Structure formats: structure tokens, C-alpha cells
Structure 1
């Protein structure tokens, strides 16, 4: 299987989708337990949610599931959130802290090395290539990393997660103009709540690629699945009415990023 699917556009914006993939090779699937085979921690339907919102946008999708290997984790295995519960490069558990592998089938060091080469690296090679291409064309590029998660996960965070979780690595991965523009739209969205650099400050993708001083801006958006799914449980069905309400705000967010990028590029 191809680890990554790329659709090129002429916009200065790239949408990254590291967690929408559901492909699991048969040999890896056989090692998952019944809980793991549910693939519950997928960023369900996020690609559909963003589809068609911005003309000529480039998209980079990881086709493999995060249980194969997580494309948004440091390839060295260093934790994104030291001291907090989180899942690793190849998760041992789901987001509820429950095991996902059959007894004796947890991935080994050799498994990690193999999956880095076959899945993680190809995704990031493709993403880096698109960042270089778009940056060369515009003198600036904005990587907008698309994510979603259940709104209540006690293992990872207390209480309810805000609907819009904007991550900029504490302001280090993108310009303040882009961060504030996105924040204005998200905080003004009626019926939703938002936070910047709360529980989710941006994953490895945001932190690794974001170099605003070089004209490479990266920002992560983690949406609550309650904002666009019928319910946050199997079969994780897409709710058309809820999604359309949310898509209006997401369209405004992508458009304000585009406009801000053009202004920054002209300076």
C-alpha cells in the first residue's frame, strides 16, 4: 500500500492529515487485540470535513492508521508532553489507557525501525517536498495540520475539551499574525469554545516544520468530534447538519490564513 496520498494545489496553504488513515497491514492487524481492531482513535472523517473549503489547497494524507505508527510523533520516540499521559510513536494503549495489542504482540524495536522506514518516513518525505515546493512558489507556506479527538478522555485530560484547540508550540511555529487571525474566528464562533496552546500545543509535525523566521508557518487544529459526529462512539457517524455548521467556520479560518499569508508574503 502507498503510505501517503498527495494532491497538489497552487495555494500557499497545505493541509496535513496524519491521522485519518485506517489502513492496517494484515500482519499488524493480526497482532492487535479486539480493542485495537476498533481503530477508535482515528481522526474520523476529518478529510471529508475540510473537503472543498479552500480552492487549490495542497493536501497530504497518511493512509496508514496511527496504531501502525503515529505520523505526528517524534521518530526518536521523545514524548511531546513529558509528565502527562499521552500515546507514543507506536501506541501501547488507546486514548483511554486500554491495551491495543494481543498478549506478547507489542511492537519490538525492530518493528519500530521497519515502520519508520515504510510508513512514517515516506509521509514526512512527501510533506517536506510539498512544503519546499509551495515555499518556492510563494516565498511562504502555511502548514495547517488537521486533527480531531473525542471531547471527553479522562486518561488524557480533565473535563471537556474546547471545540477548537489551536496549537502553535507556544507561538514558536507560526507568526503571531496567523495565530491571532485563526483565534479571532474560532473564539467568535457562536456555540463553540476555543483555546490556543491549551492541552494540545501542536504535535511533532507542527513543532518540526514550523520555522516562521524562514517563511514556513505551521499550526495545528484539534477539533472535538462532538462538533461534527452524531456521537463519539462506534460507528463514529458523520453528522451532516453539525458538520455544515462547523464547516462555515473552518472555511473562514482557512480563508483568513490565506489572506494573512498573502500579506506576509508581500512584506
Structure 2
């Protein structure tokens, strides 16, 4: 799948299926600037990210597309793109019954496509779960089997991916702490190292603070933290950095 199709999916998914099928949806645009990035043409990067998330009759979805610009590239490569599409088919929704146990409120078939420039294209499939944890707006955990698609991609293995959101009220506004972890805990090829990518965001609802509660949930400012042990499966490359972020939800 070409990047333009991922981008089109971000923009058209809610409109294409609007009505009783779509229960909720969100589209956002983020601008980020950070430094000290490893295995990149420049350690300084500016990224524009389009995201969409939503729930529908038979499950949910999340997709994003990154457009990354290398500030001061020393190898002639000035930009790159990367995107993911993840969809889950909920057993609870499909069979119209409660599926779960203890704090687990639902189980799903989880599918994900990773796509970008270079040998990064992979298809992931596995089991997703929604977990009820006090004070969390949501917490989900997907357990995947990784299957490389592009040539020279040796990332086949197993991956666990939790994602979460917590919101704290602050005066007439709020602080949101959300993000994900991708933990590749087993691999098929000894030349590809296991690793973990931790990518949370801490954001302040600036729109609500300066324009009133009617603008709550639209304009955020904050910091995105990025820790990636054995980045791209390369042993000993441990990225540890952060970016400033401005995010707007439509």
C-alpha cells in the first residue's frame, strides 16, 4: 500500500461510512520538533502527523501518517514518510454479548499494517483486548505476530502493544497523558534485536484554557517523549529524546 492511500484513509474513513455504522471518530493534525534522533540523516527533525481514530459497528480503528523533515540533513535525504493502519474486530460487538473476564472487557481480532520508505513494510495480526483500569480513559493491549512484507525486512517475530489515555482536570482545562508502547519481545532472525519503543505524550488543553470550555478537546500543546531500545532492531542503538508538540483535533 502506497503512503498516499494511508493518507487518504485518514481523511476519508469517517465520511465514507458516516451513519449508524460509525459510533465515534476523531481526526487530528500534529506538528512536532525534536533533536537527538538516531539512525537518521539528521539528528534534528520536524514532523507533521495526521491521525484518525474511531469506533464502528464491529470494532475500532487507529491510523496515522508521518511526514518527517530532516533539518540539516548531511546525506542529501531531506524527508521521509511512515504510516500505520490498525483495525480491530470486536467479539463483543460482532456477537452482541459481553466477551471478557475480570478487568478485560472485550477481545478482538487485531490487524495492523506498517508502511513507509525503506524495508519497513510489515503486516501484524493477533489478539486485542480492552482492559478496565481505574482512572484510565482507556487501556488496550494488542498481542501481534509480525510478518515482514518488504525485501530486506527481517523484523518477523512477536510484539506486544499497549496503548492508553489518562486525563487530569486542571482548573477549566485538563492535562492529557496518552501514548503507546511497542515491545518486540521475540524475533525469528538473530540479526534483528528485540527492543521496546515507548512513545507517550503529555499535553495541556490550551484551547479550553484560553477560549473557554466550548473549545475543550481541540488545541493541545506539550511534549512527546521517545525512547527506543535497539532502534530498528539494531543492537546498542538506544534513542532517548523528546519533541515539542502542537496538536489540533478537528
TM-score scaled by length of structure 1 = 0.34
More helix by share: 1
More strand by share: 2
Report which structure shows greater RCO (CA 8 Å, sep ≥6).
Answer: 1
